[in-house]
Structure 1
Amino acid sequence: MKEAVLLDTLKEYFGYEKFRPLQKKIISSVFEAQDNLVIMPTGGGKSICYQLPAILLPEITLVISPLIALMKDQVDGLNANGVPAAYLNSSQEEADKQAIFQKIDNKELKLLYVAPESLQFVDRFLNDGKVSLIAIDEAHCISSWGHDFRPAYTQLGYLKNRFPSTPVLALTATADKATRNDICRQLNIPSAKKHVASFDRKNLSLEVKPGIKRFEQITEFLKNRKNESGIIYCLSRKTTEELASKLKVKGYKAEAYHAGIDHTNRSQIQDDFINDEKHIICATIAFGMGIDKSNIRWVIHYNMPKNLEGYYQEIGRAGRDGLPSDTLLFHSYADVVQLQKFASNAKNEEVQLAKLDRMKQYSEALSCRRKILLSYFGEYLEKDCGNCDICRNPPEFFEGTVIAQKALSCIFRLKGSEPISAVIDVLRGSQNEVIRRNNYQELSTYGIGKDISWQHWQQYLIQLINLGYIEIAFDKNNHLQLTKQAKKVLFENEKIYLADVKDEKLKTQTEKASTTADSLFEKLRQLRLEIAKEENIPAYLIFNDAALKDMEKQRPMSDSEFLLINGVGRKKMEDYGYRFIKEIIAFSKEKREKKPKKKTKKGNTLKETLSLYNDGLSVEEIAKERGVAKNTIFTHLIKLYDEGEEVNLHQLIPISDLKSIERAKKELENPSGLRTYFEHFEEAIPYETIKISLKILEDKESS
């Protein structure tokens, strides 16, 4: 398939000018009828790897997907982009199924989404040759080595036998090497090409905090995020309900979500979240797999996940539009114990415990977290990321022998019979029921560490555990006990070096400029919500936040300018362009009217043009306002661009003209100046358009 055709299809239906890394390679492999395994992080663009080929392939593309919500979301998005797609599952009425079968017979569908349990419904309608591509989404579900094993997936190996000449495309966001090999073996695609995209989601901030006073930390985190969408993952149903209830009291639009809520209410909660009616979901891990919502700005783990695959997939639900987003993980030994209990009842107990141990190591790390995360998936990061809590506050080591001796002595005096919280309470001289009941105030170590905060003591004790001086007796209610190594510190003058725990404010690195109610972004967001309600589809299926931000920056005021926005395809321009352009023009006019007119000194003509341009005026409007020719304004803007001002040259010319001039540049032999192009196009393209296009192309070639 020619690259030009692929790029035109990408822009026409999905609104993007270029492919993301690996997408083109994967799509080309599909057109070569090869089997492929794609490991691509959440938000990395997996769907386009089969949706784009489906548009161009002659027969239907069959997509196996595990969740009804996920199928509905994908199909709604495709239909909004002008791609005929449908989904089939056991919950549908017979009449709906028959209507879909009729569409299959009439070749009216390009993609059909089916749950693995519902494959028998379509089997009789499809013969080898009638299916151009089989895409298996969330492919890790087939493997017991994976983090989300689903028995229904194990039957999918028959598909390659049933359709031997049809390429199979297996896709997942997370799979270690053992899981990857298991997926290929079970799907009968041993020769599949493996494409492993970078797992580095640079826009995601990573942060881990001790699991103390979690609600206070969460409310501080949310202080400047009142209207942002986020998910808080919890281990238990009870915690989701309690947390959602507390957040509601604080004025947040929060809901609990777990398997104990009836199907109708769960669907409503999910729809409210997708449509921005609710901003926060407090959920068990069951939530999110079927959500393709691109503007989730943050994810909090109230409890520690059971493995790094699950953690990575869950934090990957934030920032799918590429904008900066935050993740926060609370870590406590109580969570570790609970997860160990869960693992002890599993078939693959040994594997689960090993993966839990890796998760624990990540949580306790004193080195770049992204490095740890990426190395788990076989990717090496040469430099520290600069976007995790460790990189932002790198530890400094100090001699902590006295601190260690106090802690170890306290555990010795307690005879190894208390967990970390009670040890800290004794060290800090707390007065509570545990202290009084056991007369711990009589111990010689009572209060010897009251000059150190609770949080610092917790961190120091964790470090001593990692250094091997203390161990946790998991079989004895998590009591802290001394190891043989502890004697060296207590009695043999061995020195201990601890990482300095810095005081931090409860906020992430992303400095949030709160979006004001009268900003253009907010007005466009409200318009998007209004249209979403009219059409009864999720708001992000119209345009994602990144597209709205681009509109706010570029201020498109014509169809051709609107098409230049990343994420705007032709159908969306035709469906929604007029209303968004109208809003942008109205906003720009309102700002101009409110802005006091400045008297410009003579000779400051470039600055005056720039000022009007920044106010959102078109070239025609600036020329009229200043009483000069359009060509003069074009000249000003090019000069301003050359001087380093933020002038979007693309905004000044139609994209079709730019493409024509790019082709002419390749075809013309030794063009001598603008006139050659002007005559080549028989004077149909103005000089200024040619001049700006050549400037864009020149910059493109030199970059």
Structure 2
Amino acid sequence: MALDPLPTLQRVFGFPDFRGVQRDVVERALAGQGTLAVMPTGAGKSLCYQLPAVMLEGTCVVVSPLIALMHDQLRAAEAVGIRAATLTSVDENQAETRARFLSGELDLLYVAPERASGGGFRDLLSRGKLSLFAIDEAHCVSEWGHDFRPDYRLLKPLMEAFPAVPRLALTATADAHTRADILDQLGLPHEGMIVAGFDRPNIRYAISPRDNINRQLADLVAAQAGPGIVYAQTRAATEKLAAALAATGRPTRAYHAGLDPAVRAKNQADFVASEDMVICATIAFGMGIDKPDVRFVAHAGLPKSIEAYYQETGRAGRDGDPSVAHLFWGAEDFARARQRVAELDPERQAGERQRLSSLGALVETAGCRRAILLRHFGEHPPATCGNCDNCQSPPASTDATELARKFLSAVFRTGQGFGVGYIESILKGVSTERSLMNGHEALSVFGIATPEEAPLIKAVARALLLRDALRANDFGALEFGPGARGLLKGGDTLSLIEAPKRERRRRGAGAAANPAGDPLFEALRAKRRELAQEAGVPPYVIFHDSVLRDMAAVRPRTLSDLGRIAGIGARKLDAYGAPFLQVIREAA
């Protein structure tokens, strides 16, 4: 007779029912079937192995790529009463953990792929009882994935040594090619793939040309309450941006691989525990945290691919509350990316050029951002989503084909040896010592831009660089790229998107945790902070904001009433119910 997981879901996790495809994934695991679950961040992937681990006899071995991520997941599991442990290089209780596993006292055992693939670990597993193998961030097994980890390729032999133990692979980010590779590399049946869809409807996507990034980010931070992540492309940029944002009064930290390990660890811990901190980081940051209340993710430069963009923005709003993902890009980002592609092995260049082209389509579109994202992953979304910048404020467009041709002509007639600023001055007819010396004031393109065209010249240059109609060499001089021919010969056109002017909003005008300003909600948050400090865990491990909002709305009077709120399982009700009820009574 099949096990019914619903009573355990309600008792342990406090949820009235499953979300999305969770039940399908859990039931396959309970039935001993191999499964690949492709589920967006925030859809509850960890529950898909935690729940079977509680119900099945033996230990579920969870392979996870980063130690910090394992420790976050460990805290969350223990908070709901799951018997869990990590076996990592920084754990001082390794002997105790092994003993707990061998005596059957663990529901979950988290390990890194490097340890899991070792012979000593296989020997340990052979002396205990296993219920399930769970491979988290499973795209790391594929060379087609954006975070390839070679040690993930060694997991299949480990699992084949225990053929009776079911396998569950989980990822949020995998296109069709990567999914097929995951199935093959982990020995999973192709009929065992469950794809939940990639849409994150609570995230508002916005993309803007980069223009004074410090001011743009300061405006974003002022508009968004709650924790946020700003991704920068270099270590130096993370520190400069952190310093600039700290001047706004917001608590801010930097994070990159060049920091002293103790400083880096403290900055991460401070961010995880905070309810309003902004961390400026390289892309090394993010996979290692399991923080559900990140209210915004900003990119100060172009991500590596749409897959990377999707995963990095997916770190916002994992609790389901409204969140923002804002990308600021520059034409020079595309120029640098093309240079990196040109330096790759020839067999990789075509695929990387296609990825770059997909990013170009995302930033250049006047249509729905979400639709482009979802179509990239093989979905068929509606034409509009209502929750991206273009859907909420449809941009006007200007036919700039003639100005683009003038710009290209100026680049050609000046010998393809000058940068954007100089070409702009030639088109505007600005006389300079340099233009006189070069004799360029006698050219037919000198002063050819009309007064209406002059304000658009920089935007046209950016669009031409994005389309690869122009390329900047090592000295910043503009040269023709393959996209120039179609414009000059009259076959191609160029439209400019006019970004709508946005007023600066007061701090917290965006996705605030407490939009109604309910004093009871703030009192409950204060109690949560107090309990979190006592327990040495981040506040969200106690309860998510959504749970506190429900408490403030329902105002339960008894433990029984409190236990009916989604997200409050038996363990948390026993541990925290009384103090929160006291806050509610005092507010009556």
TM-score normalized with structure 1 length: 0.76
Alignment of 1:225-304 (within 5 A): 225=224, 227-276=225-274, 279-304=277-302
How many residue pairs match? The answer is 578
1:128–1:165 contact (8 Å) kept in structure 2: no
CA shift digits 1:352-392 (9 cap, x unpaired): 33322222221222221111111111111033111112212
2:407 maps to 1:417 = no
What SS class does the counterpart of residue 327 from structure 2 fall into? strand
What SS class does the counterpart of residue 267 from structure 2 fall into? helix
1:132–1:166 contact (8 Å) kept in structure 2: yes
2:544 alignment partner in structure 1: 544
In structure 2, do the counterparts of structure 1 residues 570 and 416 end up closer, same or farther at CA, with 3 Å as the change threshold? same
Q: Which amino acid aligns with 2:242?
A: A
2:35–2:189 contact (8 Å) kept in structure 1: no
1:501 alignment partner in structure 2: 498
1:557–1:581 contact (8 Å) kept in structure 2: yes
1:419–1:477 contact (8 Å) kept in structure 2: yes
What SS class does the counterpart of residue 219 from structure 1 fall into? helix
Distance in structure 1 (CA, Å) of the matches to 2:56 and 2:271: 35
2:376 alignment partner in structure 1: 376
Alignment of 1:21-420 (within 5 A): 21-93=20-92, 96-119=93-116, 120=118, 121-127=120-126, 130-191=129-190, 193-225=192-224, 227-276=225-274, 279-346=277-344, 348-397=348-397, 399-400=399-400, 403-404=403-404, 406-420=406-420
Distance in structure 1 (CA, Å) of the matches to 2:419 and 2:195: 43
Deviates more, 1:428-437 or 1:122-131: 428-437
What SS class does the counterpart of residue 296 from structure 1 fall into? coil
Distance in structure 2 (CA, Å) of the matches to 1:554 and 1:431: 71
Alignment of 1:9-28 (within 5 A): 9-28=8-27
CA drift of 1:47 comes to 0.6
Distance in structure 2 (CA, Å) of the matches to 1:485 and 1:16: 57
Distance in structure 2 (CA, Å) of the matches to 1:48 and 1:181: 24
CA shift digits 1:279-318 (9 cap, x unpaired): 0111111101011111000000111111111110110000
1:8 alignment partner in structure 2: 7
Deviates more, 1:121-130 or 1:205-214: 121-130
Alignment of 1:591-630 (within 5 A): none
1:63–1:134 contact (8 Å) kept in structure 2: yes
CA drift of 1:84 comes to 0.5
What SS class does the counterpart of residue 16 from structure 1 fall into? coil
In structure 2, do the counterparts of structure 1 residues 111 and 302 end up closer, same or farther at CA, with 3 Å as the change threshold? same
CA drift of 1:437 comes to 8.9
Distance in structure 1 (CA, Å) of the matches to 2:414 and 2:392: 37
CA drift of 1:232 comes to 0.5
In structure 2, do the counterparts of structure 1 residues 532 and 129 end up closer, same or farther at CA, with 3 Å as the change threshold? closer
Q: Which amino acid aligns with 1:217?
A: Q
In structure 2, do the counterparts of structure 1 residues 403 and 90 end up closer, same or farther at CA, with 3 Å as the change threshold? same
In structure 2, do the counterparts of structure 1 residues 497 and 356 end up closer, same or farther at CA, with 3 Å as the change threshold? closer
Q: Which amino acid aligns with 2:280?
A: C
Distance in structure 2 (CA, Å) of the matches to 1:220 and 1:546: 26
Distance in structure 2 (CA, Å) of the matches to 1:239 and 1:29: 46
Distance in structure 1 (CA, Å) of the matches to 2:91 and 2:511: 45
Higher relative contact order (CA 8 A, sep 6+): 2
CA shift digits 1:431-473 (9 cap, x unpaired): 999889978778653484555675x4444445566788x4335
1:240–1:283 contact (8 Å) kept in structure 2: yes
Distance in structure 2 (CA, Å) of the matches to 1:214 and 1:310: 21
CA drift of 1:481 comes to 3.3
1:419–1:479 contact (8 Å) kept in structure 2: yes
CA drift of 1:495 comes to 10
In structure 2, do the counterparts of structure 1 residues 263 and 433 end up closer, same or farther at CA, with 3 Å as the change threshold? farther
In structure 2, do the counterparts of structure 1 residues 401 and 238 end up closer, same or farther at CA, with 3 Å as the change threshold? closer
CA drift of 1:521 comes to 2.6
Alignment RMSD: 3.0
1:445 alignment partner in structure 2: 446
Alignment of 1:480-559 (within 5 A): 481=480, 483-488=484-489, 498-499=495-496, 501-505=498-502, 512=510, 515=514, 519-559=519-559
1:13–1:570 contact (8 Å) kept in structure 2: yes
1:582 alignment partner in structure 2: 582
Distance in structure 2 (CA, Å) of the matches to 1:513 and 1:99: 44
1:609 alignment partner in structure 2: none
Distance in structure 2 (CA, Å) of the matches to 1:558 and 1:2: 35
In structure 2, do the counterparts of structure 1 residues 384 and 451 end up closer, same or farther at CA, with 3 Å as the change threshold? same
Deviates more, 1:329-338 or 1:23-32: 329-338
1:430–1:447 contact (8 Å) kept in structure 2: no
What SS class does the counterpart of residue 547 from structure 2 fall into? helix
Distance in structure 2 (CA, Å) of the matches to 1:475 and 1:449: 31
In structure 2, do the counterparts of structure 1 residues 500 and 378 end up closer, same or farther at CA, with 3 Å as the change threshold? closer
Deviates more, 1:242-251 or 1:418-427: 418-427
Distance in structure 1 (CA, Å) of the matches to 2:435 and 2:99: 74
Distance in structure 2 (CA, Å) of the matches to 1:524 and 1:447: 65
Distance in structure 2 (CA, Å) of the matches to 1:364 and 1:71: 38
In structure 2, do the counterparts of structure 1 residues 19 and 485 end up closer, same or farther at CA, with 3 Å as the change threshold? same
Distance in structure 1 (CA, Å) of the matches to 2:473 and 2:53: 53
Distance in structure 2 (CA, Å) of the matches to 1:254 and 1:442: 53
Deviates more, 1:127-136 or 1:428-437: 428-437
Distance in structure 2 (CA, Å) of the matches to 1:337 and 1:440: 26
Distance in structure 2 (CA, Å) of the matches to 1:241 and 1:107: 47
In structure 2, do the counterparts of structure 1 residues 339 and 462 end up closer, same or farther at CA, with 3 Å as the change threshold? closer
1:626 alignment partner in structure 2: none
Deviates more, 1:163-172 or 1:191-200: 191-200
CA shift digits 1:190-219 (9 cap, x unpaired): 446011111110110011100121111111
In structure 2, do the counterparts of structure 1 residues 478 and 305 end up closer, same or farther at CA, with 3 Å as the change threshold? farther
1:221–1:506 contact (8 Å) kept in structure 2: no
Distance in structure 2 (CA, Å) of the matches to 1:437 and 1:260: 46
What SS class does the counterpart of residue 214 from structure 2 fall into? helix
Consecutive unaligned residues of structure 1, counting only runs of 5 or more, are 590-703
CA drift of 1:246 comes to 1.4
CA shift digits 1:302-352 (9 cap, x unpaired): 111111111101100000111110010011121123333444555644433
2:135–2:169 contact (8 Å) kept in structure 1: yes
2:61–2:108 contact (8 Å) kept in structure 1: yes
CA shift digits 1:106-134 (9 cap, x unpaired): 21110100111122343222229821100
2:301–2:328 contact (8 Å) kept in structure 1: yes
Distance in structure 2 (CA, Å) of the matches to 1:399 and 1:345: 35
In structure 2, do the counterparts of structure 1 residues 411 and 189 end up closer, same or farther at CA, with 3 Å as the change threshold? same
Instruction: Report percent identity of matched pairs.
Output: 38
2:331–2:465 contact (8 Å) kept in structure 1: no
Deviates more, 1:518-527 or 1:205-214: 518-527
Distance in structure 2 (CA, Å) of the matches to 1:495 and 1:159: 55
Q: Which amino acid aligns with 2:446?
A: T
Distance in structure 2 (CA, Å) of the matches to 1:502 and 1:98: 60
CA shift digits 1:541-566 (9 cap, x unpaired): 11112222222322223212212222
Distance in structure 2 (CA, Å) of the matches to 1:79 and 1:365: 45
Q: Which amino acid aligns with 2:161?
A: R
Q: Which amino acid aligns with 1:581?
A: L
